Each structure stands twice: as structure tokens, then as C-alpha cells.
Amino acid sequence: MPEPPISGTLETIQNPIPKPIPPEESTETNPTSSKESEAVIVDVKGQVKTPGVYTLPIGSRVLDAVQQAGGLLPTAEERALNLASRLIDEMVIYVPTIGEMEEPIPFPSSPSNPSKDESQSTIVNINSADETTLMTLSGIGPSKAKAILTYRDENGSFQSIEEIKEVTGIGDSTFNNIKDFISVK
């Protein structure tokens, strides 16, 4: 006896055979990449009215980013910033509180081809910095910042900046990126 015409239909409904989705064909170029090449994206933190991530035109200055963030708060240590520095894509601008920074702030002497390291605008005391402040350092994300805090809690204050290499996840490469921007005093 032949099978009824709907035999196997229930199985197909429960386990449908996937059909490939045809790729979308686009004749236009990616508009995002052209916009990204005309702008820099910076992260403004600390003593500004509206901390956050901002997109500014290439050639903009730290002053422009601070203004985008609503300006400095009355508690901001303006002397810790070089407001005339050109912005670099992925730059972090940290505006400290008055008295937070104990050492003079080094600024690059020439604007010729600044590296990502030169975009760091403050010295971070690794013995007193919180997680957010530690994350302003190049190459220090949430997990490394937590590891620094854990090491400090378990071993006491750092006696030298080189001691930070004892922290899990921080080797010579990371140390070389941050050594000019950290202190233990």
C-alpha cells in the first residue's frame, strides 16, 4: 500500500532543511570606513562634566575633546593636561583631581609623529590608584588593573616601578609601555 502524501511532512516541519541565505550584494563602498578615516575616537575620563567616548575630526586637540565632554569641573587639575596636544585615535584623556598628581607631568617636546605612549598625559601612582585610574595606562585593562590591586593588597605598596612586573599578566612588554607613566610615590 502506498504511503499517504503527507508522510514525512511532520518530520520536515520539525527538522526543516536549512536553505542557504544568499549573500547581500552591495555596489557601494563601506561608508563607515571612510568616516572612521576622517575622525579620531577618544575616551575622556575624570574631572569633566560628561565623561565618555567622543568622535572628533582629525587634527582636533585635547581642548576640543574636553569641551565635547562638557568642560572641566572645578575640582580638575588643569595643569596636568596639555590642552594643545593633537588627539590620537584610541587616546585616553584622564583629567585628575587637584592634588591627585604628585609629580610633574611630562609632555612630549616635539609633536612629530607621536606614538600611543605619548598620548598618556598623566603620571599614575600605582600605590594609590584605583582600578579606573590604572586602566588609563596603555595596555592595562580591567583584568590587569584588578591583578595590580590584588598584588598590592597581598604584598603591600610597591617599592619600585619595576616591581609591577611581579604582577600576573604584566611582563617586560607591558612594563616598557607604562614605565614612563607610573610612580610609587
CATH number at residue 73: 3.10.20.600
Residue 132 has pLDDT above 70, yes or no: yes
Q: Given this model, what pLDDT does residue 139 score?
A: 85
Q: Given this model, what pLDDT does residue 74 score?
A: 94
Q: Given this model, what pLDDT does residue 90 score?
A: 84
The CATH code of the domain that includes 180 is: 1.10.150.320
Q: Given this model, what pLDDT does residue 28 score?
A: 47
Percent of all residues in the chain with a pLDDT value above 70, rounded to a whole number = 69
Q: Are residues 91 and 134 in the same domain?
A: no
Number of domains in the chain: 2
Q: Are residues 127 and 94 in the same domain?
A: no
Average the pLDDT over 67-79 and give the result: 92
Q: Are residues 37 and 69 in the same domain?
A: yes
Q: Please check whether residue 117 is in contact with residue 177, taking contact to mean a CB–CB distance below 8 angstroms.
A: yes
Residue 89 has pLDDT above 80, yes or no: yes
Task: Classify residue 4 by its DSSP letter.
Answer: P
- Cα radius of gyration rounded to whole Å, the chain: 25
Q: Note whether residue 1 is domain-resident.
A: no
More confident residue, 25 or 95: 95
Q: CA–CA separation, 18 vs 88, rounded Å?
A: 46
Q: Are residues 95 and 128 in the same domain?
A: no
Please, which pLDDT band fits residue 4 given cuts at 50, 70 and 90?
low
Which domain, by its residues, includes 138? 123-185
Residue 185: HSE in the Cβ half-sphere, 13 Å Cα cutoff: 3
Q: Given this model, what pLDDT does residue 41 score?
A: 92
More confident residue, 66 or 10: 66
Q: Are residues 93 and 132 in the same domain?
A: no
Please, which pLDDT band fits residue 23 given cuts at 50, 70 and 90?
low
Q: Are residues 137 and 182 in the same domain?
A: yes
